[in-house]
């Protein structure tokens, strides 16, 4: 019976679940652009849903034809997030990299910490999650690399800051040195969601939330809008149950629950994470020696054009494109569930020519809002 089935098996079977069709087509198109011709409809390929074990997102079986399985639950989960198309493409292209291009896992990293290849996977390296910043200029590079491993490293993968990020003038500073509203920005007191007080010239916030949350101030001045170039920084310290709890700096829109915020988080194990709250998980996780595992760290984001530049204790750490669309004036911090955060020296800067004098921002009128965040998900293995 087995032999009979084997003899009759159609080695050119072409069976693609409609959910994956667009990505299989795209793979053929991207290959064709690079003078590599594939004709799966005649040569055969199977891509189907399965219930995979061991936290797997996808699995490639080296059969005739090549058969790829994608975990149904994971696919549905990422479908509801802002980065769904990029994440799905990354997953299907990775599996086709194995099955069609014969690529094996490659877990090298660039100088800036980015994965060198979308073929990262298999056995974890230093327990780093598989999250890959598969977006915009990096997406283009990763597809190039998928079809041509000898491609050279893109400029952004160095630790060199390639953009002039100087020329910002502070237009709002919160010193937290006294209980005056002009120093605190935030309202002090014991609220249902958190407690806020001044502690030895720093802002001390204790969260009562059971999830991570963002505490945001709305700056009542349209010049201080994240769609313009800006700089945003503060010193931050965190105490919480776990050294892997993530906390940090955030800005964005918070009018409805669908609005998203962009974030720059760290933990107390010298890791940084950047991302957008509408996405499934952080873009990627990077180990940074500049991060102090305890005490204060100074975090800073500078926007120039479409890019965000991340700094840790005045050292340039990373660059990537902003994901936030639209316009907004919310700036604040992210606090883990039931954690304590100390903030100091919070500053927002604009380009020197942005025509805003510091006194036009009345910090006594800052509005406050809070946004509950889902705990960041790690990407699954593939």
Binding site for Zn ion (CB under 5 A): 121, 175-177, 201, 344, 382
Min dist CB 121 to Zn ion, Å, is 4
Report the 10 Å Cβ neighbour count for 109. 17
| Beta-strand pair 213-218/330-335 | antiparallel
Query: Which CB atom, from 159 or from 178, has the smaller least distance to Zn ion?
Result: 178
User: Residue 47, by phi and psi: left (phi above 0), alpha (psi -120 to 50) or beta?
Assistant: beta
C-beta of 125: minimal distance to Zn ion in Å?
14
End-to-end Cα separation, the chain, in angstroms: 33
Helix ranges (DSSP H) in the chain: 2-8, 18-33, 40-43, 72-79, 84-99, 136-147, 181-184
Residue among 376 and 382 whose Cβ is closer to Zn ion = 382
The residue (of 174 and 324) whose beta carbon lies closer to Zn ion is 174
Among candidates 81, 73, 114, 119, which has minimal Cα distance to 97?
119
Q: Are the CB atoms for 296 and 235 separated by under 8 Å?
A: yes
Least Cβ distance, residue 93 to Zn ion (angstroms)? 11
- Taking the CB of residue 11, how many other CB atoms lie within 10 A of it? 9
Nearer Cβ to Zn ion, position 177 or 377? 177
Q: Which is nearer to Zn ion, 160 or 182 (CB)?
A: 182
Q: Are 94 and 105 in contact (CB under 8 A)?
A: no
Query: Least CB distance from residue 253 to Zn ion, whole Å?
Result: 28
Phi, psi of 297 (to 5 degrees): -130, 140
> Is 44 within 8 Å of 12 (Cβ atoms)?
yes
CB atoms within 10 A of CB 366: 21
Nearer to Zn ion, 93 or 251 (CB): 93
Min dist. Cβ of residue 344 to Zn ion (A): 4
Of 65 and 121, which CB lies nearer to Zn ion in the complex structure?
121
Position with the least CB separation from Zn ion: 121
The string of DSSP letters for 261-282 reads: EEEEEE-TTSEEEEEETTSSS-
Omega prior to 65 cis, within 30 of 0: yes
CB of 177 to Zn ion, least distance (A): 5
CA angle 58, 62, 66 (to 5 degrees): 75
Nearer CB in complex with Zn ion: 221/296: 296
Nearest distance from C-beta of residue 94 to Zn ion, angstroms = 6
The nearest distance, CB 201 to Zn ion, in angstroms, is 4
CA distance 52 to 74: 9
- Shortest gap between Cβ of 6 and Zn ion (angstroms)? 27
C-beta of 41 vs 199, nearer to Zn ion:
199
Of the candidates 170, 190, 249, 257, the residue with the CA atom closest to the CA atom of residue 214: 249
């Amino acid at each position: 019976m087995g032999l009979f089935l084997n003899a009759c098996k159609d080695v050119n079977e072409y069976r693609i679940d409609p959910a994956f069709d667009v990505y299989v087509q795209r793979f053929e198109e991207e290959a064709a652009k690079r003078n590599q011709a594939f004709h799966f409809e005649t040569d055969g390929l199977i891509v189907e849903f399965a219930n995979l074990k061991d936290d797997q997102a996808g699995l490639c079986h080296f059969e005739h034809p090549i058969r790829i399985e994608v975990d149904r639950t994971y696919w549905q989960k990422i479908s509801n997030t802002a980065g769904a198309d990029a994440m799905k493409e990354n997953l299907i292209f990775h599996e086709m990299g194995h099955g069609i291009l014969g690529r094996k896992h490659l877990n090298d990293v660039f100088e800036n910490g980015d994965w060198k290849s979308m073929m990262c996977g298999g056995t974890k390296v230093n327990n780093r999650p598989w999250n890959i910043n598969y977006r915009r200029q990096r997406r283009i590079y990763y597809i190039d690399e998928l079809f041509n491993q000898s491609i050279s490293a893109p400029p952004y993968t160095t630790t060199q800051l390639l953009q002039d990020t100087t020329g910002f003038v502070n237009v709002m500073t919160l010193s937290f040195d006294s209980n005056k509203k002009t120093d605190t920005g935030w309202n002090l007191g014991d609220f249902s969601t958190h407690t806020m007080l001044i502690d030895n010239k720093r802002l001390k916030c204790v969260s009562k939330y059971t999830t991570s949350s963002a505490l945001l101030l709305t700056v009542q001045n349209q010049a201080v809008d994240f769609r313009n170039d800006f700089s945003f920084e503060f010193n931050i310290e965190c105490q919480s149950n776990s050294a892997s709890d993530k906390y940090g700096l955030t800005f964005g829109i918070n009018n409805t629950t669908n609005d998203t915020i962009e974030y720059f988080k760290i933990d107390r194990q010298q890791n940084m994470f950047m991302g957008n709250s509408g996405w499934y998980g952080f873009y990627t996780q990077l180990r940074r020696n500049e991060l102090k595992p305890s005490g204060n760290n100074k975090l800073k984001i500078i926007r120039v054009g479409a890019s965000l530049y991340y700094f840790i204790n005045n050292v340039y750490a990373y660059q990537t494109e902003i994901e936030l669309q639209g316009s907004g004036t919310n700036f604040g911090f992210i606090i883990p569930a039931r954690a304590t955060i100390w903030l100091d020296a919070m500053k927002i800067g604009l380009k020197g020519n942005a025509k805003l004098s510091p006194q036009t921002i009345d910090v006594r009128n800052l509005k406050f809002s809070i946004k509950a965040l889902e705990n960041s998900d790690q990407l699954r293995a593939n």
